Amino acid sequence: MRSFAHRQRLQQMGLRRDEFMSRPVIAIINTWSDLSPCHAHLRERAEAVKRGILFAGGMPFELPAMSLGEVMVKPTTMLYRNFLAMEVEELLRSLPIDGAVLMGGCDKTTPGLLMGALSADLPCIFVPAGPMLNDRHRGTAVGAGTHTKKFWDEYQAGNIDQAEWIGLEARMTRAPGTCNTMGTASTMTSIAEAMGFMLPGASSIPAMDSAHTRMASASGERIVQMVWEDFRPSTFFNAAAVRNGIVTYMALGGSTNAAIHLIAIAGRGGVSLKLDDIGRQGAGVPVLANVFPSGNRLMEDFYYAGGVPALLRQIEGHLALDCRTVNGRTLGENLRDAQCTDTETVRSPDNPVTEGRALAVLHGNLAPSGAVIKPSAASAKFLKHTGPALVFDSIVEMNARIHDPALEVDENTVLVLRNGGPIGAPGMPEWGNLPIPRKLLEAGVRDMVRISDARMSGTHYGTCVLHVAPEAAAGGPLALIRTGDLVELDVEAGRIAMLVTEEEIARRRAAWQPTPATRKRGYTKIFLEHVRQADEGCDFDFLMGRETPVEPSIY
């Protein structure tokens, strides 16, 4: 009776019975939106995916999912990553689907799509949105994110006039696609490729390159074969695949945000991963991708140099090469013919981009559960630093005070922002790259030590300690620090601490009162009640792990 109703309703939509009988039903989960410039082309790419599915004998159905365009969504797309993951899981669970093509790429869409697909455990393949094209300004290649921050500082300092600023606004992001620096978008799609979720080389193909359309079609063809093979994530996603993702993350000089997403993705796939595991498993892996913000090239250059396969050839000794991938081959087999065509963009281990690591994990009385910093994008002189704290209780207070000429601050001051974490903000926005006070910018200062329980855009740079856990709103020690307290940062020692006695900390804790939650409805209420801390991946406490639902027999 149920199958009769399914066939009946498909014919209601104009499909012939022969078009869908005995064919794998493939969901194309598309995060396209008119307000997501990173995904503006995915509606067209879905047609290429459909073409590949039909060519291989499958039946495609496009299913829209929440599009998390990073810049457009308020207060932050991070608030909705778990929403997308839930939506994907329920789409694949509730509808008569045999396999899925996951289409996304902007920062939170990759982890959100993967988290949901891992929980559902149906055959799936990822089609990345791809990076935008490069642009040039005064003879230098420029792109999104990193250069926006650099030019903004120069504009604030008076070195760029309004006419030039308006011109940059119109040119720096000149085509659809994700940020063309090694921000969170390209970091996460590259990690997903290394973990086996997409066709080799797919993650770095520019969004507007014809090869991108061909990759989309090939992915559609491959998912049909995966259904016949019953090639589910549980057959290839394991602890070794996660380690491959971590190693790739380090070699990329990737976004600090990946530390949170990797923990959440691993958890959905039944792999236990801690923040310290990422630091330990990535130790000794040099930064080899010469891409902003750690390097000086852009993703289009990375693609021409050979992309992820070329990068992974340089670090084969760190990888589990026997891990299977969605094309049916092992990672080692996929890398066998990979070549690097530009050794300045994809470096060898004896010529790293920077001596700094992509990620360092810090602990201390300010971050008992951990915090992170990106040494490869920080100032060397601040990696061991002690200075007085200047504390802001909120983003509103910081924005109101940071450029006050009377603000007592100098280059050695440690800027501290609290209440920017998962609960406090809510959603853990990208507030961690605190602005340099204007009076210091005008004096030539371009970096300071900054600490917060928020995140930072993967495209940004600077000596920023992020993801402090537990966060201030959850009663973490960041809630107790006061302006004037000395703060010690020692990246080599893995230490972040306020130089305050335990007795004084205890007195402050006894007097601390949490701020009542102001959001009491809808999805945000669920988020506040169930989100875990940054060191635990910020997933919901009731969604960890994989669980195959048992449907009532009537279905």
Residues 253 and 327 in one domain: yes
Q: Check pLDDT > 80 for residue 171.
A: no
Residues 108 and 185 in one domain: yes
Nearest C-alpha neighbor of 26 from the set 59, 3, 63, 73: 59
Q: Is residue 509 part of a domain?
A: yes
Residues 453 and 370 in one domain: yes
Q: Check pLDDT > 90 for residue 155.
A: no
Residue that has been written with the tokens 């300004």 in this structure: 137
Q: Check pLDDT > 70 for residue 553.
A: no
Please state, as a whole number, how many other Cβ atoms lie within 10 Å of the Cβ of residue 376. Answer: 25
Query: Count of H helices and E strands in the chain?
Result: 19, 14
Nearest C-alpha neighbor of 224 from the set 50, 358, 84: 50
Q: Are 479 and 473 in contact (CB under 8 A)?
A: yes
pTM: 0.95
Average of per-residue pLDDT across 266-271: 97
Tokens of 28: 């194309």
Q: Is 395 helix (H, G, I), strand (E, B) or coil?
A: helix
DSSP state of 234: G
Can you state the angle between helices 210-229 and 42-55, rounded to 10 degrees?
Answer: 50
Q: Check pLDDT > 90 for residue 142.
A: no
Helix, strand, coil percentages, rounded to 5, for the chain: 40, 15, 45
What is each CA distance from 476 to 264, 274, 411, in whole angstroms? 21, 19, 27
Phi and psi dihedrals of 371, rounded to 5? Answer: -150, 170
Which domain-ending residue is among 480, 496, 515?
A: 515
Residues 236 and 370 in one domain: no
Calpha distance 101→419 (Å, rounded): 37
Q: Is residue 139 part of a domain?
A: no
Calpha distance 282→278 (Å, rounded): 6
In sequence order, the β-bridge partners of residue 386 are 488
What is each CA distance from 227 to 45, 85, 322, in whole angstroms? 21, 21, 22
Show the domain range for 278.
23-133+174-335
Q: How confident is the model at residue 325 (pLDDT cuts 50, 70, 90)?
A: very high
pLDDT tens readout for residues 456-482? 998 888 999 999 999 999 999 999 999
Q: How confident is the model at residue 297 (pLDDT cuts 50, 70, 90)?
A: very high
Supply the mean pLDDT for the chain. 94
Average of per-residue pLDDT across 333-362: 96
pLDDT recorded at residue 368: 98
In this structure, which amino acid lies at residue 151?
F
Q: Are 202 and 128 in contact (CB under 8 A)?
A: yes
Residue that has been written with the tokens 């559960």 in this structure: 369
pLDDT recorded at residue 552: 52
What is each CA distance from 359 to 257, 277, 317, 318, 375, in whole angstroms? 10, 12, 20, 17, 6
Residues 106 and 222 in one domain: yes
**Which carries the bigger pLDDT value, residue 355 or residue 327?**
327
Calpha distance 277→269 (Å, rounded): 16
pLDDT recorded at residue 6: 82
* Dihedral of alpha carbons 346, 45, 110, 238, sign: negative
Calpha distance 427→420 (Å, rounded): 8
Can you state the angle between helices 81-94 and 109-120, rounded to 10 degrees?
Answer: 30
Residues 386 and 330 in one domain: no
In this structure, which amino acid lies at residue 523?
Y
Calpha distance 295→493 (Å, rounded): 25
Residues 312 and 276 in one domain: yes
pLDDT recorded at residue 21: 83
Phi and psi dihedrals of 221, rounded to 5? Answer: -65, -40
Nearest C-alpha neighbor of 103 from the set 183, 41, 182: 41
H helices within 2-126, ranges in order? 2-12, 17-20, 42-55, 81-94, 109-120
In sequence order, the β-bridge partners of residue 239 are none
Percentage above 70 pLDDT, the chain = 98
Phi and psi dihedrals of 59, rounded to 5? Answer: -120, 115
Residues 375 and 325 in one domain: no
Q: Is residue 526 part of a domain?
A: no
Q: Which CATH number fits the domain that encloses residue 446?
A: 3.50.30.80
Decide: residue 555, CB within 10 A, 0-12 exposed, 13-18 middle, 19+ buried: exposed
Q: Is residue 548 part of a domain?
A: no
Calpha distance 99→118 (Å, rounded): 12
Residues 178 and 48 in one domain: yes
Calpha distance 391→398 (Å, rounded): 9
Q: Are 187 and 255 in contact (CB under 8 A)?
A: yes
Q: Are 428 and 454 in contact (CB under 8 A)?
A: yes
Percentage above 90 pLDDT, the chain = 83
Q: Are 422 and 471 in contact (CB under 8 A)?
A: yes
* ∠ Cα 480 482 483 (to 5°): 160
How many structural domains is the chain composed of? 2
Residues 300 and 204 in one domain: yes
Residues 73 and 184 in one domain: yes
Calpha distance 186→26 (Å, rounded): 26
Nearest C-alpha neighbor of 26 from the set 115, 92, 116: 92
Q: Is residue 349 part of a domain?
A: no
Q: Is residue 530 part of a domain?
A: no
Nearest C-alpha neighbor of 184 from the set 90, 254, 79: 254
* ∠ Cα 12 17 23 (to 5°): 120
pLDDT tens readout for residues 514-542? 987 666 789 999 999 999 999 999 999 99
Q: Are 216 and 53 in contact (CB under 8 A)?
A: no
Q: Is residue 162 part of a domain?
A: no
Q: Is residue 94 part of a domain?
A: yes
Residues 38 and 112 in one domain: yes
Q: Are 306 and 277 in contact (CB under 8 A)?
A: no
